[in-house]
Each structure stands twice: as C-alpha cells, then as structure tokens.
Amino acid sequence: MSILTINHLLDHTQNKYLTEITNIINPLNTDTSINNYTTIVENIDKTIRELALTAMKNYFEKMDEDFFNSRNRKASYYVKNKRSRTLISVFGKFEYTRRTYECKSTGKYYTHVDRKLSLPKYDKYDPIVKAQVIELAANSNSMIKAGQIIGEKIYSSFTRNPNRKNYNISRQTVHNILKKINRFNPSINRKDTTPSILYIMADEKYINLQRSKKKKLMLKHIVSFEGIEHDSNRAVLKNKLIYSSHEQDIWVDFHNHLAKVYDLEKIRSIVIMGDGASWIKSGIQELVGAEFVLDKFHTYQAIENMTKVSQLNYAL
C-alpha cells in the first residue's frame, strides 16, 4: 500500500487516534519506553477498526439501496418500513439501516440485506463471531474462557484498556450459540479388510452439568483397534475407531457402528479391555465372540493395591 493510499485512508478516520502517534514519532520526543510501540499498535488497531466498521455499514446500506432501486423490487415488493439493526462483528459493534419489504403476491415480508447475508433475525453477534466462539469452546472445553477471549478480541486485537472486560460474552450467550449448532452425522467409511481379532478399550468420564437436577453425566468412551504398530519406538493403535455416548445401550449402538465398518462375520474374536465396570463387561453380551480382560493399567494397579495390603498385614 502506497503512502498516498495510507494518507487517503487516514483522512477518513478520527484524529484522536492519530494525535498520540504523531507525538511519538516527533523527533523532539525523548521517551524510549515500550509504551511508544504499544501505543502505536493500539491506535492503528482502533483506526483500522473504525475504517472497517464504516465500510461494512456503507456496503450493507448500499446493498439495500441498490435493491430498492432495482426493477425486480419495484415489480414484486412494496416497502413496509426502514429500520436500523445493531450487529457485533469481529471488528466491533456497528449499526446499519435497511428496509423490510412486503411481497405483492404473497404478502410475506422480506428483508433483503439480512437474507442476502444469511443473518438470522434478532442475532446480536454475526456468524463469524459465533463460529469463533464455537471453535474455541470446543477446543478449550470452557464456555467462560471462550466468551472472555472472543469478547476481548472483538474489542481490540491488542489493548491495555481494562474496558475490554466489558465486552466478554456471557456463558449463557455462549451456551445459546452452542445449542443452535446444526448437528450432523459423520460419514462412515467401510474398511476394505476385516481383522480376525478386534481389540476394544472402554472407559468413562464424568462431566459436570449446568441447570440440571443431575450434577454429573457419565460419558462412555469406546476405542476399537486392530492391533499395535510401532513408529519410531512409539506404539500406535492400528485403524483406531473412537465412539462416545451417554446412552445406556451404548453397546447396541456401537455394534451397529461396527457393522457399518467391518464384515462382522469375519471377526473370530473380540477382546474388550477396561477397569471391570459393569457397563463395560456387559459388552460381551452384545458382541458375539467377545471376552473381557482387565487392561494393563488396572491390572498393575490391582497388583500394587494387593501388594500394599499384604505388606500392611505383614507389618501388623
């Protein structure tokens, strides 16, 4: 970008952000602290954000104005009203005005800008912000943390201003965003070959619940694999499949899942490993040819516990 272009852009921004930068680059300024750098970054960020928000407002309103003046609109729609809408984007909060139209043939209402940009009614945060919230909540497993990080990011890419905390997205809002996610079933690829022996490890994890009579939920995990391979002295599970559910009949669902992946008639033996919980042992009743064995970790743990008891009895 040329200096002329930069100057042209800066002419459209508020001088309050540029004054501090001008003072810093002044040769007579003898201050050499890190605050000079952080102030420049912070004020450039504010300047760019104002430019972005102004551009988005102008584009949205031009989109509506072009549709309003189009032949298709004049032939098919009446103008019902013109209202403003506030939207929070990755650049911050801005407001734009757009018209709501009424179809001449059906009487149904149509808001061109919102429909064109796939902006759901009454949503305060735009789709990009919601996508970032969903991704971070999934990776961090924390709605509070996701709301804090994305909220502060909306306020500024970098700022020392404590007011950034006021932009935190509440846990309830994050929960509502996650609740509206369209769920999908992942495609299942059938294996070209089926092993004669299939190994299965099962375990559970308890998850804290909110706004529920039950304080905790047991999430069951099942991992199947065809054997162990070694890659650079590291053990790797061969053709690992992961299945999770909180339903009581997880083995029935997992059995159906396996049937889509393998030719079950070719599997001669299934080894189920776990800590001996009743729900894990019940897998041998659903999977034909299955047997249960205590996994290596819990075997060593049991031996260690028995050894400690024996040593304690001997000491007594």
pLDDT category, 11, cuts 50, 70, 90? low
pLDDT category, 188, cuts 50, 70, 90? confident
Residue 230 neighbours by CB under 8 Å, 6+ apart: 236
Rounded mean pLDDT of 36-62? 91
Residue 141 has pLDDT above 50, yes or no: yes
- Predicted pLDDT at 208: 80
pLDDT category, 216, cuts 50, 70, 90? confident
Taking alpha carbons only, the member of 192, 219, 187, 188 closest to residue 206 is 219
**Contact (CB, 8 A) for 93 and 58:** no
pTM for this structure?
0.59
Rounded mean pLDDT of 83-107? 95
The per-residue pLDDT of the chain, averaged, comes to 85
Of 214 and 73, more confident: 73
For residue 3, CA distances in Å to 10, 30, 113, 163 come to 10, 26, 35, 33
Query: Among the listed ranges 10-19, 107-116, 137-146, 224-233, which one has the minimum average pLDDT value?
Result: 10-19
Burial category of 214 from C-beta neighbours within 10 Å (exposed 0-12, middle 13-18, buried 19 and up): exposed
- Predicted pLDDT at 23: 82
Residue 313 has pLDDT above 70, yes or no: no
**Contact (CB, 8 A) for 188 and 203:** no
The whole-angstrom separation of Cα 248 and Cα 204 is 12
257-263 contact pairs (CB < 8 A, 24+): 257/188, 258/198, 258/224, 258/287, 260/188, 260/190, 261/188, 261/189, 261/190, 261/191, 262/190, 262/191, 262/194, 262/195, 262/198, 263/194
Residue 129 has pLDDT above 70, yes or no: yes
Residue 7 has pLDDT above 80, yes or no: no
- For CA atoms 139, 141, 146, 149, the dihedral sign is negative
- Predicted pLDDT at 151: 92
Residue type, 105: S
- Predicted pLDDT at 307: 75
Rounded mean pLDDT of 296-312? 70
Rounded mean pLDDT of 153-166? 84
- Predicted pLDDT at 3: 43
Burial category of 238 from C-beta neighbours within 10 Å (exposed 0-12, middle 13-18, buried 19 and up): exposed
- Predicted pLDDT at 4: 43
pLDDT tens profile 220-235: 999 999 999 888 778 8
